[in-house]
Amino acid sequence: MSGEAGRLGPPIATTPVYAGTIVNLRRSDYRRPDGTVVTREVMDHPGAVVVVPVEGDHVLLVRQPREAVEEYTLELPAGKLDHPGEDPLECARRELAEEAGRAAADWRDLGGFYTAPAILTEFMHCFLATGLTPVSGAVADEDEAIEVVAWPLADLAAAIDEVRDAKTLIGLLRLERELRPPG
């Protein structure tokens, strides 16, 4: 199933559980086409972007602390849409500047994906950014501690093996596909 053929109807009943600054949690009942009613706990999220920045013969990654998993992770620059209806490309431009200190002359949409569709509504837009130049004055969010890591494209397979973050794996695999010679 794909596209509209794969769409389900809206919930028939919803109970809010928690309202946060990034996600809201709700319990919702859904009626499937066969009449079965199922209850799901769902986190609503405004959506996000992930940027695959290529600078010369390197892809720029960021290493940052992720307290939820108690690790420093190696990731592509990314961030959430600040408000409903925000243009994902504008969000990508902002996140590239804030996290990697770069602006891009060229942008290419690499498609999008759900991050965890069993429990989370977050849809992530993936962009390839090239023609990078340094940006002065761009500042990461005050609670972010980010180190930019330039990873050689010639060793992209090693980055794919090292990364444990799903959005980064998807972005790097899509980059690998872009770099493959045609045919």
| Rounded distance between C-alpha atoms, residue 149 and residue 163, angstroms | 13
Q: What is the largest CA-CA distance in the chain?
A: 57
CB 74 within 8 A of CB 163: yes
Domain boundaries, the chain: 3-44, 48-179
98 is catalytic: no
Q: What is the mean pLDDT of each run of 10 residues along the chain (183 residues)?
A: 68 96 95 94 97 98 96 97 93 97 98 96 97 83 84 97 97 96 82
The hierarchical CATH code for the domain 48-179 is 3.90.79.10
- In this predicted structure, what is the pLDDT of residue 47? 96
End-to-end CA distance of the chain: 28
| Rounded distance between C-alpha atoms, residue 71 and residue 91, angstroms | 26
Catalytic one among 41, 71, 144, 178? Answer: 144
- In this predicted structure, what is the pLDDT of residue 76? 98
